Amino acid sequence: MVYFSPDGRPLPTPTPITAPYFDGLRNRRLMLQRCPRHGYFFYPRGRCPHCLGDDWEWGELSGRGTVYSFTVDRAGHDPALAGRIPYVVALVDLDEGPRLVGNVVDCDVDAVAVGMAVEAAYEDVGDATLLGFRPAS
Ligand SMILES: [Zn+2]
């Protein structure tokens, strides 16, 4: 079942594997799984993507990173997001290693650049909290 925010955006449905990630976001903490041999990995899954080990643990990351790449949606391709244009979708390399995708918020879209330092930004939407990024303070 897919749940939608009041503005029409699809919201995550946590599973037993993903619930600690989404619970962390709700508490303004970025939690990812960490393999004792290979470091943090993403997205939440049952086994390490490198060694297939299942002895990973959840760990808290700083939420700080740099923009690896990004695009600006100025057309509103998704009707649920049309009211938010223009907005940035970025790939962010976290300081601890994983690369995540998220919106870059709290700045002009034309200010976003590859290599820009960012930090986690949390948006409460309905019962969910979504991860985005803002320019690092
Ligand atoms: Zn591993």
For residue 27, what pLDDT is reported? 97
Ligand 1 centroid distance, CA of 58 (Å): 13
Q: Compute the residue count for the chain.
A: 137
Ligand 1 centroid distance, CA of 69 (Å): 26
Ligand 1 centroid distance, CA of 105 (Å): 33
Q: pTM (2 decimals)?
A: 0.91
Ligand 1 centroid distance, CA of 9 (Å): 34
Ligand 1 centroid distance, CA of 64 (Å): 23
Q: In what order do the strands lie in the sheet with 39-41?
A: 39-41, 30-35, 57-61
Ligand 1 centroid distance, CA of 55 (Å): 8
Ligand 1 centroid distance, CA of 103 (Å): 28
Write down the mean pLDDT value for the chain. 94
Q: List domains and CATH numbers for the chain.
A: 13-135 (2.40.50.840)
Calpha distance 45→37 (Å, rounded): 16
Per-residue pLDDT of the chain (137 residues; tens, 9 = 90+): 778 888 788 898 999 999 999 999 999 999 999 999 999 998 899 999 999 999 999 999 999 999 999 999 999 888 888 888 999 999 999 999 999 999 999 999 999 999 999 999 999 998 899 999 999 99
What tokens appear for 117 in the block? 């330092």
Ligand 1 centroid distance, CA of 60 (Å): 17
